[in-house]
Amino acid sequence: MSGPAAGGTAARGGAPGGDVPLLQARGLTRNFRVRASRARPGGGLVRAVQDVTVALPRAAIIAIVGESGSGKSTLVKLLARLIRPTSGTLLLDGAPLPRSSRGRREFARQVQLVLQDPFSSLNPVHDVRYHLARPLRIHRLARTRPELDRAADGLLERVALTPPGQFRGKYPHELSGGQRQRVAIARALAVRPRVLLADEPVSMLDVSVRLGVLNLLADLRERDGLAIVYVTHDIASARYLADAICVMYAGRMVESGPAAVVTDAPAHPYTQLLIGAAPDPDRPAAARLTPGDAATGPAIPAGGCPFRPRCPHAMRVCADAVPALADLGGGHASACWLHADGLSAAERSALGRGERAAGLAPGRRAARPRREAR
């Protein structure tokens, strides 16, 4: 799903240091072949990420929001170059990535990943000092014991684990969840990255310490100019932290734009449902996501808009073709036929309940070629 570069215009003040985004994905697609199972008797293809285009400016924070299975982690792994795309390209500073092992190592240094579960991402048999010293040694940023200790202390101070001497010798089980995640972030910072990919970094933490870790990420952007991709289920925390929000559904990016615009005036029916489902004390009669609807799997019909079985506005055209991201102005874009002009009355007619879930609406022979929504 190509379209306006999410975050490119939405990040605060644009992209410091020029218009070329720091990290850019163009038309990223990743399919997985899976064996036969009860849910998929013939096996088949999981379309985890479909045609996603996104741009991360320098010192910007972009949030990737979506339900479980919408492709967020797969997108992050593609951005981290941990898995290969089925198609599409990644650019760093506007240039294609080198394939040499040296180029790969340098990319891995510049683009660091922080995972959801700090307990499993830290080795229980090693102390904090070991976790911080290892990347410093591998990337030859410090060698002698005093150099390593100095660098480790500096990292602990940057993530507010102070005084550092109190934390250096501790093992993961001796730390709280929030402290473990701070150590994981410090380890990522050890190699002086330019991009941090944070895949649900606070979802396993106690609610009381989440805000502290989110504020730490905001601080790293402010102080060090780090660009951050923040993955979350929680659109409220995305609004709090990010400049721009990209909403994913069934592997596709369905809406993107400045965080305040996407949350205050969501254009896509799925984003509207997500916001309606978020707890809000000022909105007692909040809409709820339909229980039992998975974001991917058999509930996702093969052709047309993947959201149509759950969409209160589904029209005949929605069963025919995938809507492209339409530019709504101001860096805001949404992939929905509701934004398209020039549809016929037949195309705009409501889709029946049974037709929504079908691969193709009855009476139609084949999906039309994809159309640009304008």
Ligand X SMILES: Nc1ncnc2c1ncn2[C@@H]1O[C@H](COP(=O)(O)OP(=O)(O)OP(=O)(O)O)[C@@H](O)[C@H]1O
Report the interface residues with ligand SF4, using CB under 6 A. 269, 305, 307-308, 311, 313-315, 318, 323, 336-338
Judge contact between 161 and 129, C-beta under 8 A: no
Quote the least distance from Cβ 68 to ligand X, whole Å: 3
Q: How far is the CB of 368 from ligand SF4 (least distance, A)?
A: 14
Q: Write b or e for each residue in 78-89: b if 16 or more Cβ atoms lie within 10 A of its Cβ, otherwise e.
A: bbbbeeebbebe
300-328: b or e for each residue (b if 16 or more CB lie within 10 Å)? Answer: bbebbbbbbbbbeebbbbbbbbbbbbbbb
**Nearer of residues 179 and 271 to ligand SF4, judged by Cβ:** 271
Pick the binder of ligand X from 9, 256, 271, 296 (CB under 6 A).
Answer: 296
Binder of residue 315, out of Mg ion, ligand SF4, ligand X, none (CB less than 5 to 8 A by kind): ligand SF4
From the list Mg ion, ligand X, ligand SF4, none, partner contacted by residue 318 (C-beta under 5 to 8 A by kind): ligand SF4
Q: How far is the CB of 95 from ligand X (least distance, A)?
A: 27
Contact between residue 274 and residue 47 where contact means Cβ atoms under 8 Å apart: no
246 binds ligand X (CB under 6 A): no
* Interacting residues of 349 by C-beta distance below 8 A, sequence separation 6+: 315, 316
- For residue 62, the minimal CB distance to ligand SF4 (Å) is 22
- Based on CB atoms, which residue is closest to Mg ion, 24 or 73? 73
Nearer to Mg ion, 76 or 111 (CB): 76
Least separation in angstroms between residue 303's CB and ligand SF4 is 12
State the residues that interact with ligand X by CB under 6 A.
32, 34, 46, 48, 66, 68-74, 233, 296
